[in-house]
Chain A
Amino acid sequence: MAKDEDEIIENVTDGEYKYGFVTDVTTETIGKGLNEDVVRLISKIKKEPEWMLEFRLKAFRHWLTLEVPTWAYLDLPKIDFQDVIYYAAPKVNEDKSWDDVDPEIKDTFNKLGIPLEEQMALSGIAVDAVMDSISVKTTFKDTLAEKGIIFCSFSEAVLNHPDLVQKYLGSVVSYRDNFYAALNSAVFSDGSFCYIPKGVRCPMELSTYFRINAAESGQFERTLLIADDDAYVSYLEGCTAPQRDENQLHAAIVEIIAKDNAEVKYSTVQNWYPGNKKGEGGIYNFVTKRGLCEGFNSRITWTQVETGSAITWKYPSTILKGDNSSSEFYSVAVTNNYQQADTGSKMIHIGNNTKSTIVSKGISAGHSSNAYRGLVKVAKKCKGARNFSQCDSLLLGDKCGAHTFPGLDVQNPTAIVEHEATTSKIGEDQLFYCNQRGISTEDAIGLIVNGYAKEVINKMPMEFAVEAQKLLQISLEGSVG
């Protein structure tokens, strides 16, 4: 029985990465390595105003003083930051007229299931497609503009909406925040910008699709999302990369600001190339995501399904500053083969009567290591804070690890903060129960894993939920998919 089970788990966890193809497209890159000149060059290529360059340089100089953080439960190989290409852009015509876009690029996104022609586009989703260092196309821009919504690439925002960018850039994630935030702030190339004006409910899902294509390049994008008073937006983020033997670096920043009564839902399906079965290749994913519930009664929801990347280092967090503001974090992180993930959330309660919820589900298979790391902090003057955290880990196989490192820092007696965590493997009795009802062990594992993740996946917008479920199958199932 034991042997059978091992075999089955192996089969089940033996899915293939389907997005590993490379697009043959002319790419403009600058040489490997990082110094002030590179930072200046990036800024120059992007025709940025002086203040933007200043911001980058400040960040770069600060970055030089920092060391790679080592506190995460990751076996971190030494990364040579001088051996990375910091800017790579597929050739796109200046005016970005859709007809002029290289058909290879169009084809790439079609293959990924993200058609960029609006008539073919997924109904009700506006997409900003980012390939390597630049945004190649943003759909439905005009439709959104009618409502006063700004949704464009970050580069365009710097040029067309400098006031907004200057006001909010770095206001939630300072370039001083951490090593990778400093790096990103110095060299970020593009990303998405979104502003929802007062009282506007964004009529469609907004989405950014990130694709790394060029070899040996890093991707450093930035997302800045502002929901003004009473605004609402649901935002989706997806990512894939080609299959390559060497590791590639991805260090992104996401900043969200929610004003009075605003609500932002931010969903991520992260499927960067995770490396092969032997643990070769794959993306190193170091991401700083943070939201600021600045206004009264504002709300930020993070939902993430993390299946990709060789290494993930990511802690979407919320600062609950406005009274009555609330935030939720729902996460499913799957690691297989030699993947490593150290992910979780921080909830910083500052405003009165703030509420937060953390639900994290880790699933480890193969030789992987999956860690939850979190912090719930209640500031001294914050009255009536409430938090509930639940972190569960599921182990498939005996070579993988599941780790939980939550922290509760409470400085006000009116807070109620609760944390629960469990670690278990799929119950023999559950499998047997399924078997007895005629379900094969293989299918049963699939069923149980999906059931296990359901609580989180259900929080995603429909289209993404379906994709997320498929992804879970690809990363774990094989036979079940």
Chain B
Amino acid sequence: MSVEKINKDFQDLFVQGKELLYNGVNDLMNEKREIAFNRFIEGGIPDKKNENYKNTDLSKIYERDYNVVLNYHRQDVDLNDVFTCDVPNLDTHLVLTTNGWYYARNHELSGLPDGVIVCSLQEASIKHKDLFEKHYGKYTISDNGVTDLNTAFAQDGYFIYVPENVILEKTIQIVNLMRANADLMSFQRNLIIIGKNSQAKFMVCDHALSSVNFLSNNLTEICAEENAVVDYYQLQSQTLKCSLVDSVFVNQEKNSNVLNHTVTLYGGLIRNNIFTKLSGENAENHTYGMYLTDSVQHVDNYTYIDHASAKCFSKENFKGVLDDKSTVGFTGRIEVRPDSQQTEAYQNNNNLLISDDAKVFTKPQLVIDADDVKCSHGATVGQIDEDALFYLRSRGIGAKEARMMMVFAFTNEIIGKIRIEPIRERVAQLVEKRLRGEDSHCDACKLQCNK
């Protein structure tokens, strides 16, 4: 199927589903929907001709025939019963989504500080209209069809607002569950606003509960206001049949500090787009990622850090281990605008190839238009250090175990960046299991996500 056909199918879907799409949300959302849709018609799905999608041909995954759900579908079981995620020593507020929609039977979150809002995006668009309109769609950049497609078709997702001067102690855990009887395409749209002087932590898990083909297009906007501190951890653990195009747009005001941490444990095709705009002075951003690939998995991370203001700091590090016939892409763009003096921006991408057939394409980019800057990037592709391996073996550690230790050590740097200890330990445990070739679902989880 050609790109033209895919684009045509989306056009038909939009026209036919218009009534459902426009239902239940605020006008602004629908205005943006209209604009995005028109722009999508012009540009279409990014294919290999798009420089930023050279490593990932989306036309391949979009050419499959999927069901598209344009209204909320009830699940036949209570997901709260079948899904529990219990991280030791970590008390969280749990929010579930299903197939792109805010789960209707989410428990009421108790003990939230005054003024904190956690609800569905649809609800927020009407009940919290002013807040919603102030932020919705303000941080997305539509330089490709993926973003526009989400804005055109997404109807729901979660909305989180933390007002000024609130420190949210508990981590908010969001679990995006895909569950269906037939191949399904979903769109999810999320909005997170952290007010001035406030702090919040998020743990987002992507899981698939059924063994059909899924294609998710998720988009999250995060706004960190002045002095806000935000931790955003994402753990992607799906099946080979899942394709995920996940975009996160972060906007950072003065003195804010954001940690964006993405661990890709498993999935069929995963494309992460992480855009960060440092809008206010002295903002600090840390963007880290890790990917462990095997089989015929494909993981492509695209990051864009925009130093739009002076005196900001950004640090970025992505590391991956590639096995079997998996393929990996990395593009990291750092842009320092003309007046963004005293910028510090650092980026690194390191890849470990442990099979003959794995492939990696890495493309760091520095675009610098200010002179008082300290910027660097580095990229490496290599293997396990043989000297170190021998050293371990000479101490009696078996070759296989030694190799494991080395790979784990390689990933350790990224795991170590997690600022919440219980999550760090949990991720370390999952990564180790994953590297040992075991299922990397959590021990406490009743679901066997990766089976």
Contact = CB atoms under 8 A, between A and B. Distances in A.
Q: Do A's and B's CB atoms come within 8 Å in the complex? A: yes
Interface of A: 71, 73, 378, 380, 393, 395-425
Interface string B370-399: 111111111111110000000000000000
Contacts of B376: 420-423
B381 A423 contact: no
A403 B371 contact: no
Nearest to A416: B382
A420 B355 CA distance: 25
Contacts of A415: 353, 381-382
Contacts of B383: 413-414, 416
A73 B373 contact: no
Chain B binding site: helix, strand, loop or mixed by DSSP? strand
B19 interface: no
A410 B359 contact: yes
Contacts of A401: 367-369
B114 interface: no
A402 B355 CA distance: 37
Nearest to B380: A418
Contacts of A404: 364-367, 377
- Residue among B356, B364, B366, B376 having the largest count of chain A Cβ atoms under 10 Å: B366
Contacts of A399: 338
Nearest to B359: A411
Given A71-B51, A421-B364, A408 B381 contact: yes
- 8 nearest interchain CB pairs? A413-B353, A395-B371, A404-B366, A401-B369, A423-B375, A410-B381, A422-B376, A417-B381
A56 B297 CA distance: 46
B270 to A, nearest CB: 20
29 contacts: A73-B367, A395-B370, A398-B370, A398-B372, A399-B338, A402-B366, A404-B364, A405-B363, A408-B362, A409-B360, A414-B383, A415-B353, A415-B381, A416-B380, A416-B381, A416-B383, A417-B380, A418-B381, A418-B382, A420-B377, A420-B378, A421-B364, A421-B366, A421-B377, A423-B373, A423-B375, A424-B373, A425-B372, A425-B373
Nearest to A403: B367
Contacts, number: 111
Interface of B: 51, 338, 341, 351, 353-356, 358-383
Nearest to A409: B361
Contact of B362 (A400, A407, A412, A414): A407
A73 B341 CA distance: 22
Nearest to B372: A425
Given A73-B367, A401-B367, A418-B380, A413 B355 contact: yes
A71 to B, nearest CB: 7
Given A408-B360, A409-B359, A415-B353, 14 more contacts: A71-B51, A378-B381, A395-B368, A395-B373, A398-B370, A400-B371, A401-B368, A401-B369, A411-B359, A418-B379, A420-B378, A423-B373, A423-B374, A425-B372
A396 B363 contact: no
A356 to B, nearest CB: 14
B128 to A, nearest CB: 42
A411 B55 CA distance: 13
A410 B372 contact: no
A156 to B, nearest CB: 43
Contacts of A409: 359-361
Contact of A407 (B356, B363, B368, B373): B363
Given A410-B360, A413-B354, A413-B356, A418 B378 contact: yes
Contacts of B377: 404, 419-421
Contacts of B361: 407-410
A73 B365 CA distance: 12
A423 B351 CA distance: 23
B375 A424 contact: yes
A422 B368 CA distance: 11
A403 B353 contact: no
